[in-house]
């Protein structure tokens, strides 16, 4: 029995995948607390799709994928900011137009150079086949993200909660905005490898949303989200051994299940607690 459960761990590629997934899951979950509070959930989705042409070009040109992806991610964010500032269009519509355009560009590039990139790797992730070079890139991205978050989390929290107050205190709000956007793009790039473009938004949103249901303290929220993100990523990556390599699917399904449990049973903000309060009120 135990032997059977340990089978996946006998393969080096599985151990690597599990560890890398856990790292990325933790970093994304940390960031997800800021993203959900700032209301940037769809920005995460948008950036994860917008990095695709960068990845394609990087692979075609033989450059580090993270650099290309990061660049197009930021380009997309700037594009959204520009169109939003210049038109009366709603923000969500602008996000939709820009990220789908970038994704389409990526799709066309990949279809023109089918041999250098595998589309499915980008869209669905392929952590089980990750190369050592890619692991290095992810490790660097994670380290930088964690360092920045660790040093500036108070400023970023204030920025997410009340940008005007942050400005009044003399903080550079533009710089904070840009920092958060950059971190988002960077983690989206890292998460692309584990869960793929379609599911990046989940690891950048679900842990934060779950923790938000469970606590009212930001410190606790970060702790819960990070634990949950790391835990589900480790277990999900392990489980994907039995699910034909659908690592992203396993991780995100687990996360969603935990979110649903929190939604129903959370002590203060859960469905059952609210129902009890409602009945007590009438």
Partner 1 sequence: MTVPLSIDVRDVTVTYPNGNVALRDATLQLGPGTICALVGVNGSGKSTLFKTIMGFLRPGKGAVQINGRPVREAQRDNLVAYVPQGEEVDWTFPVSVWDVVMMGRYGYMNFLRIARAEDRRVAAESLARVGMEEFRDRQIGELSGGQRKRVFLARALAQRARVILLDEPFTGVDVQTEAAIIDLLRELRAAGNIMLVSTHNLGSVPEFCDHVALVNRTVLAYGPIDEVFTEENLSRAFGGVLRHFRFDESTIQKHDERAVTLLTDDERPLVFGKGGHLEYSRRQGREKIVEERAEKEDDR
Partner 2 sequence: MIETLLEPFEFAFMRNAMLAGAIVGAVCAVLSCYLVLKGWSLMGDAISHAVLPGIVIAYALGAPLALGAFGSGLLCAVLTGYIKANSRVKEDTVMGVVFTGLFAFGLVIFTKIRTDLHLDHILFGNILGIDRSDLIETLLVGGVTLIVVLALRRDLLLFCFDAGHARSIGLRTGLLYYLLLSLLAATVVASLKAVGIILVVAMLVTPGCIGFLLADRFGPMLALASGSAVFSTLSGAYVSFFTDASPAGCIVLIQTLLFAIALVFAPKRGLLAGRFNRAQSTPPQPAG
Binding residues for partner 1 (CB under 8 A): 88, 269, 273-278, 280-282
Alpha-carbon span 194 to 211, nearest angstrom: 22
The CA distance from 77 to 99, in Å, is: 9
- Residue in 45, 60, 69, 16 with CA at minimum distance from that of residue 186: 69
Q: Residues, the chain, total? A: 282
Q: Is 42 in the site for partner 2 (CB under 8 A)?
A: yes
Residue 281 binding result from partner 1, partner 2, none, given CB thresholds of 5 to 8 Å by partner type:
partner 1
Question: For partner 2, which residue of 198, 223, 227, 235 counts as binding (CB under 8 A)?
Answer: 198
Which residues make Cβ contacts (< 8 Å) with residue 185, sequence separation at least 6?
A: 47, 51, 69, 70, 73, 74, 77
**Token couple for 75:** 């380009």
Q: Is 133 in the site for partner 2 (CB under 8 A)?
A: no
Q: Nearer Cβ to partner 1, position 245 or 270?
A: 270
Complex with partner 1: residue 87 or 131, whichever CB lies closer: 87
229 near partner 2, judged by CB under 8 A? no
Out of 22, 25, 44, 68, point to the residue binding partner 2 (CB under 8 A).
44
Residue 114 vs residues 111, 120, 195: alpha-carbon distances, Å: 5, 11, 21
105 is a site residue for partner 2 (CB under 8 A): yes
Residue 144 engages partner 2 in binding (rule: CB under 8 A): no
Residue 212 interacting partner from partner 1, partner 2, none (CB closer than 5 to 8 Å by kind): partner 2
How many angstroms separate the CA atoms of 55 and 185, rounded?
13
Closest CA to 186 of 48, 45, 58: 48
Q: Are 183 and 145 in contact (CB under 8 A)?
A: yes
- CA dist 195 and 104 (Å) reads 20
CA distances from 36 to 19, 46, 210, 227, 264 (A): 25, 14, 10, 17, 19
Sole binder of partner 2 in the list 108, 168, 175, 276 (CB under 8 A) = 108
CB of 147 to partner 2, least distance (A): 26
Residue 96 site contact among partner 2, partner 1, none (CB < 5 to 8 Å, cut-off depends on kind)? partner 2
Nearer to partner 1, 120 or 275 (CB): 275
Residue 207 CB, shortest distance to partner 1, in Å, is 22
Residue 45 touches partner 2, criterion: CB under 8 A: yes
Task: Give the residues lining the site for partner 2 (CB under 8 A).
Answer: 36, 39, 41-42, 44-45, 49, 83, 86-90, 92-97, 100-101, 103-108, 110-112, 119-120, 123-124, 198-199, 201-202, 205-206, 208-209, 212-213, 243-246, 248-253, 255-257, 259-260, 263, 269-271, 274
């Amino acid at each position: 029995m135990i032997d059977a459960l340990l089978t996946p761990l006998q393969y080096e590629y599985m151990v690597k995948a599990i560890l890398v997934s856990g790292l990325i899951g933790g970093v994304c979950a940390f960031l997800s607390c800021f993203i959900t509070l700032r209301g940037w959930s769809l920005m995460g989705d948008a950036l994860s799709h917008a990095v695709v042409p960068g990845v394609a070009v990087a692979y075609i040109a033989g450059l580090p994928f993270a650099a290309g992806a990061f660049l197009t991610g930021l380009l997309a964010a700037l594009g959204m900011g520009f169109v939003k500032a210049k038109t009366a269009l709603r923000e969500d519509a602008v996000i939709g137009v820009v990220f789908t355009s970038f994704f389409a560009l990526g799709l066309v590039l990949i279809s023109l150079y089918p041999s250098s990139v595998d589309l499915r790797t980008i869209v669905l992730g392929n952590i089980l086949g990750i190369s050592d070079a890619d692991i290095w890139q992810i490790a660097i991205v994670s380290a930088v993200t964690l360092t920045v978050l660790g040093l500036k989390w108070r400023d970023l929290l204030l920025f997410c909660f009340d940008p005007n107050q942050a400005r009044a205190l003399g903080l550079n709000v533009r710089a904070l905005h840009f920092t958060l956007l950059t971190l988002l793009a960077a983690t989206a790039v890292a998460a692309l490898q584990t869960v793929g473009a379609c599911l990046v938004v989940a690891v950048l949103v679900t842990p934060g949303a779950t923790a938000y249901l469970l606590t009212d303290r930001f410190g606790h929220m970060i702790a819960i989200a990070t634990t949950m993100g790391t835990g589900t990523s480790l277990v999900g990556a392990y489980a994907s051994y039995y699910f034909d390599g659908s690592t992203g699917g396993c991780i995100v399904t687990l996360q969603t299940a935990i979110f649903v449990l929190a939604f129903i049973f959370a002590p203060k903000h859960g469905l059952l607690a609210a129902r009890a309060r409602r009945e007590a009120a009438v």
